């Protein structure tokens, strides 16, 4: 044991990983997990070690929110949760790593966009972070840029199949080239699936109002399924895995199933809002608070996605946290100008734990997999992140699985000052959050420090394992 290194013994907890749960003691040395054993005697510890009693608590790896937009500058404004606020609310939710996004500045090499985003995040973040790099256009040097990007620890790109009007869409020929380059450098492609042509046609045919509820009509689930089918087929032809972000609809799910039957390799993400909220939310006076893209769907879609989640057809639940204040959201009632996006990182764990319990069909290990292990593997962060094992980062959450509470604007910490899950009764609460051995949250008090979060270089994404 190294002299002067801080040691923490977490005793008597139920230690949970994706494989299951068992009573064990867990020893942290500095930033790493040093030992996990049935009994680690206090007498063996160096003087000054901290001992934490975790009886009645579950000890699990820090969660990874694989889809966040903290401090997003968009449409002449900025989101409510910047890097400091995002880190704080995440830590309260047991999230110790987020994977955020860097926009593609087409005037620069991809890595320059990424490094600028990393620098900005480093200054404010108190939890760790990795990055997905947006690619919104093709040119002949993209393959070289992807190689540099991957060497710099950014091994996932994000593409859109819509937003042609703002220059985000890459046409099929370009995508084929891009996918081939991704295959060469083992870069994961994550994709926002909505068919642009169908959305354009729907908009042209639309007569009448542009209320929040109309947003759902203007971006139908058929657009999601078409985009999944076309981009998914292309990925299968080229021979790359594909990560589908925020699957929102039963129709989209059908397209996923069809592709898998045809041999496509898809990793599918959904979010709590597509599992738990439906488009009836858009009707009330608070309708704008629930506008995001893709839009909320029907109750049937909620149910289908929940079933698919329980059946293992969906691998990752992340949040697409993109928060605006009530004032920002309610500044417009026109769905074309309402700032799209909602908060969610902090609510992720209690909501999903509650869903797991009420379903009676999801073990705690499966929950850990969905929220931590699977995203760590998909994005090349495993086993440094996403599990509790000797040598992994000491990202550890102590969780009280029996505590019941209500989500509302006073019990959560987003700068949005509202939660889309207002009034939801949930079971389970984070008691402590450690990030690399540093205590970030303890009994409702935040101890995180801006600038202490590290950029985590991603390695080869898991779905490429076994390919040379
Ligand atoms: Zn997003």
Q: What is the DSSP string of 11-43?
A: EEEEEEETTEEEEEEEEEETTEEEEEES---GG
Q: By C-alpha distance, which of 246, 287, 290 is closest to 420?
A: 290
Q: For residue 448, how far is its CA from the centre of ligand 1 (angstroms)?
A: 25
Give 465's pLDDT tier (boundaries 50, 70, 90): confident
Q: By C-alpha distance, which of 345, 386, 390, 353 is closest to 369?
A: 386
Q: For residue 234, how far is its CA from the centre of ligand 1 (angstroms)?
A: 22
Segment 84-106 shows an average pLDDT of: 97
Q: For residue 414, how far is its CA from the centre of ligand 1 (angstroms)?
A: 17
CA separation for the pair 233, 231 (Å, rounded): 5
Q: For residue 382, how far is its CA from the centre of ligand 1 (angstroms)?
A: 22
Instruction: Give per-residue pLDDT as tens, 354-381.
Output: 999 999 999 999 999 999 999 999 999 9
Q: For residue 30, how far is its CA from the centre of ligand 1 (angstroms)?
A: 34
Q: For residue 467, how far is its CA from the centre of ligand 1 (angstroms)?
A: 29
pLDDT of residue 4: 64
Q: For residue 44, how far is its CA from the centre of ligand 1 (angstroms)?
A: 47
pLDDT of residue 163: 87
pLDDT of residue 3: 54
Q: For residue 135, how far is its CA from the centre of ligand 1 (angstroms)?
A: 14
Q: For residue 60, how far is its CA from the centre of ligand 1 (angstroms)?
A: 26
Query: Rg of the chain's alpha carbons, rounded to an integer?
Result: 22
Residues with CB under 5 A from ligand 1 (ion): 320
Q: For residue 330, how far is its CA from the centre of ligand 1 (angstroms)?
A: 20
CA separation for the pair 156, 401 (Å, rounded): 34
pLDDT of residue 283: 95
- Sorted by where each starts, the structural domains of the chain and their CATH numbers stand as 7-60+391-446 (2.30.40.10), 62-384 (3.20.20.140)
Q: For residue 158, how far is its CA from the centre of ligand 1 (angstroms)?
A: 9
pLDDT of residue 468: 64
Q: Which three-class secondary structure state does DSSP give residue 119?
A: helix
3-state DSSP percent of the chain in helix, strand and coil, to 5: 35, 25, 40
Segment 250-275 shows an average pLDDT of: 98
Q: For residue 248, how far is its CA from the centre of ligand 1 (angstroms)?
A: 12
pLDDT of residue 144: 97
Has residue 447 got a pLDDT over 70? yes
CA separation for the pair 395, 385 (Å, rounded): 7
- DSSP β-bridge partners for residue 160: 169, 192
CA separation for the pair 466, 454 (Å, rounded): 29
- The pTM of this model reads 0.97
pLDDT of residue 467: 72
Q: For residue 320, how far is its CA from the centre of ligand 1 (angstroms)?
A: 5
pLDDT of residue 323: 98
Has residue 134 got a pLDDT over 60? yes
Q: For residue 291, how far is its CA from the centre of ligand 1 (angstroms)?
A: 13
Q: How many helices (DSSP H) and strands (DSSP E) are in the chain?
A: 14, 19
pLDDT of residue 74: 85
Q: For residue 68, how far is its CA from the centre of ligand 1 (angstroms)?
A: 6
Has residue 330 got a pLDDT over 80? yes
Q: For residue 185, how far is its CA from the centre of ligand 1 (angstroms)?
A: 24
Has residue 1 got a pLDDT over 80? no
Q: For residue 69, how far is its CA from the centre of ligand 1 (angstroms)?
A: 6
Instruction: Give per-residue pLDDT as tens, 186-215.
Output: 999 999 999 999 999 999 999 989 999 999
CA separation for the pair 309, 301 (Å, rounded): 12
Q: For residue 4, how far is its CA from the centre of ligand 1 (angstroms)?
A: 42
- The CA angle 324-369-126, to the nearest 5 degrees, is 45
Instruction: Give per-residue pLDDT as tens, 282-318.
Output: 998 999 999 999 999 999 999 999 999 999 999 999 9
Tell me what percent of the residues of the chain surpass a pLDDT of 70: 99
């Amino acid at each position: 044991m190294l002299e002067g290194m801080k040691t923490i013994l977490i005793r008597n907890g139920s230690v949970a990983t994706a494989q299951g749960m068992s009573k064990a003691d867990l020893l942290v040395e500095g930033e790493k997990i040093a030992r996990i054993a049935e009994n680690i005697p206090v007498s063996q510890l160096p003087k000054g070690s901290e001992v934490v009693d975790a009886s009645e608590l579950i000890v699990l790896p820090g969660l990874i929110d694989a889809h966040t937009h903290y401090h997003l500058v968009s449409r002449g404004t900025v989101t409510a949760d910047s890097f400091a606020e995002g880190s704080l609310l995440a830590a309260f939710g047991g999230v110790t790593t987020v994977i955020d996004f860097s926009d593609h500045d087409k005037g620069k090499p991809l890595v320059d966009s990424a490094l600028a985003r990393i620098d900005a995040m480093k200054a404010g973040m108190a939890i760790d972070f990795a990055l997905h790099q947006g690619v919104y256009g093709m040119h002949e040097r993209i393959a070289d840029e992807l190689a540099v990007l991957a060497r710099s620890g950014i091994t996932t790109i994000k593409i859109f199949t819509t937003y042609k009007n703002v220059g985000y869409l890459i046409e099929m020929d370009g995508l084929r080239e891009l996918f081939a380059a991704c295959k060469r450098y083992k870069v994961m492609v994550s994709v926002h699936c909505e068919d642009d042509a169908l959305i354009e046609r729907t908009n042209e045919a639309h007569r009448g109002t542009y209320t929040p509820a109309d947003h759902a009509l203007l971006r139908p689930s058929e657009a999601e399924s078409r985009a999944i089918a076309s981009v998914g087929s292309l990925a299968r032809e080229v021979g790359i895995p594909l990560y589908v972000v925020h699957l929102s609809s039963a129709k989209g799910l059908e397209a996923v199933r069809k592709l898998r039957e045809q041999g496509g390799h898809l990793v599918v993400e959904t979010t709590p809002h597509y599992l738990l909220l439906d488009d009836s939310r858009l009707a009330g006076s608070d309708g704008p608070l629930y506008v995001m893209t893709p839009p909320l769907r029907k109750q049937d879609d909620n149910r289908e996605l929940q079933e698919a989640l329980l059946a293992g057809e969906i691998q990752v639940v992340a949040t697409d946290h993109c928060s605006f204040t009530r004032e920002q959201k309610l500044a417009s009632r026109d769905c074309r100008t309402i700032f799209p996006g909602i908060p969610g990182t902090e609510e992720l764990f209690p909501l999903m734990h509650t869903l797991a319990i009420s379903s009676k069909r999801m073990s705690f290990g499966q929950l850990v997999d969905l929220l931590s292990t699977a995203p760590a593997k998909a994005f090349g962060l495993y086993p440094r992140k996403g599990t509790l094992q000797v040598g992994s980062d000491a990202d550890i959450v102590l969780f009280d699985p029996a505590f019941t509470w209500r989500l509302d604007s006073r019990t959560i910490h987003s700068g949005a000052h509202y939660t889309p899950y207002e009034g939801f009764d949930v079971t389970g609460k984070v008691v402590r959050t450690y990030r690399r051995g540093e205590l970030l949250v303890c009994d409702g008090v935040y101890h995180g420090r801006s600038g202490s979060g590290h950029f985590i270089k991603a390695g080869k994404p898991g779905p490429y394992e076994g390919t040379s």
